[in-house]
Amino acid sequence: MGSMHTFSAILTTGMLAFAAGALANEANTLQALLKQNQALIAAMNDTKLKEVQIGKAKLEINGAADVLKRAETNFRRNAEGLGREVQYWEGQAQRVQNNGCPWGGKAEASYAEACNAQMRKIQAWARELKDKDNGMEEYARRLQAERAEVERLTLEWARKQDAVNRQARLVEQKRAEWQQRYNAFVFQSEAYRRLRVSVPLAQHCRELTGMGSHDELRNAAQCLQHLWDGARR
């Protein structure tokens, strides 16, 4: 009978030691997953910020380009000199007071601000050059230079847009890979088994499905933190 108790004690001790070793190994994996989760959220935030910035830049380019297009069209039709240009832009400036941007209507602020800035610049050129002998030629040259600048900015924007799109695809790939590792490891871990039976904190641990939103990733981080804390005890 004594030998049976001894064997049982040895078996229990061995199982506890095995569980402790498993928890120690799991703690390292949990910590790695947690760090990867934090890096992933930071990368997603950075990508989102760049997407907002690139969208704002496009609105600014469009606002300036729309004014320039109208300036070019109006100038081609003008055979009466820059005095008529001045009158035209003064009329547009009056519309700005009532509408924000003559052609933007209720457009976003970035578009309207760029539109109005471009209009003020072209209006100033017309005023500056209207009484000069070579005013028409200089005005045309400035419009051409402005067209070249808008085209340069458009190309630069396209390159940045491509870079942001590549970054977004890479982050999405990393998110999917991390999510797969998280689901495969967490719910089979000894730390999760202990957490589930001992405290209600296991409610933070939910399998990730679909795209894995920011909120879901933050909940996953809470889960990992609870599991890691438990695995270290």
Instruction: Examine residue 11 and state whether it is found in any structural domain, yes or no.
Output: no
Tokens matching residue 106? 């209720």
12 occurs within a structural domain: no
Q: Which residue has the higher pLDDT, 2 or 134?
A: 134
User: Do 102 and 96 touch, CB atoms closer than 8 A?
Assistant: yes
Over range 91-102, report the average pLDDT.
Answer: 69
* Lowest-pLDDT choice from 137-141, 166-170, 188-192, 200-204: 200-204
Q: Are 213 and 12 in contact (CB under 8 A)?
A: no
Decide if 160 is inside a domain.
yes
Answer whether residue 19 is part of any domain. Answer: no
Nearest-angstrom CA–CA distance, 39 and 222 = 15
Looking at 43-47, 94-98, 108-112, 199-203, which range is the least confident one? 199-203
Identify residue 111 by its one-letter amino acid code: Y
pLDDT (0 to 100) of residue 49 = 96
Whether 38 maps to a domain, the answer reads yes
What is the distance between the alpha carbons of residues 202 and 196, in angstroms, rounded to a whole number? 5
- State pLDDT tens for residues 186-206: 888 887 777 777 666 556 688
pLDDT at 217: 85
Read off φ and ψ for residue 114, nearest 5 degrees. Answer: -70, -40
End-to-end CA distance of the chain: 34
| Of the ranges 59-63, 97-101, 111-115, the best mean pLDDT one | 59-63
Q: What is the chain's mean pLDDT, rounded?
A: 81
Inside any domain, residue 92? yes
- Residue 48 to residues 41, 43, 54, 131, Cα–Cα distance (Å): 10, 9, 10, 50
Residue 9 — pLDDT band, cuts 50, 70, 90?
Answer: very low
Whether 100 and 108 have beta carbons less than 8 Å apart is answered as no
Closest CA to 173 of 4, 7, 44: 44
Residues 6 or more apart whose CB falls under 8 angstroms from that of 216 comprise 206, 208
Domain that holds residue 210: 26-232
In a domain? residue 142: yes
> 100 pLDDT exceeds 70?
no
What's the predicted TM-score (pTM) here? 0.76
Which phi and psi (to 5°) does residue 213 adopt?
-70, 175
The lowest-confidence range among 42-51, 106-115, 151-160, 166-175 is 106-115
Domain count, the chain: 1
The average pLDDT across 29-44 equals 89
Using CA atoms, how far apart are residues 64 and 221, in angstroms rounded to an integer? 44
Question: Given this model, what pLDDT does residue 14 score?
Answer: 37
Residue range 207-227: average pLDDT? 80
* Residue 10 domain flag: no
Tokens of 64: 């300036």
Q: Rounded CA gap, 68 and 143, in Å?
A: 7
Confirm if 71 and 143 have CB atoms less than 8 A apart.
yes
Q: Which residue did the predictor score with more confidence, 9 or 164?
A: 164
Name the H helices within the chain.
2-77, 82-99, 109-129, 135-186, 190-198, 214-232
Which segment, 72-76, 160-164, 171-175, is predicted with the most confidence on average? 160-164
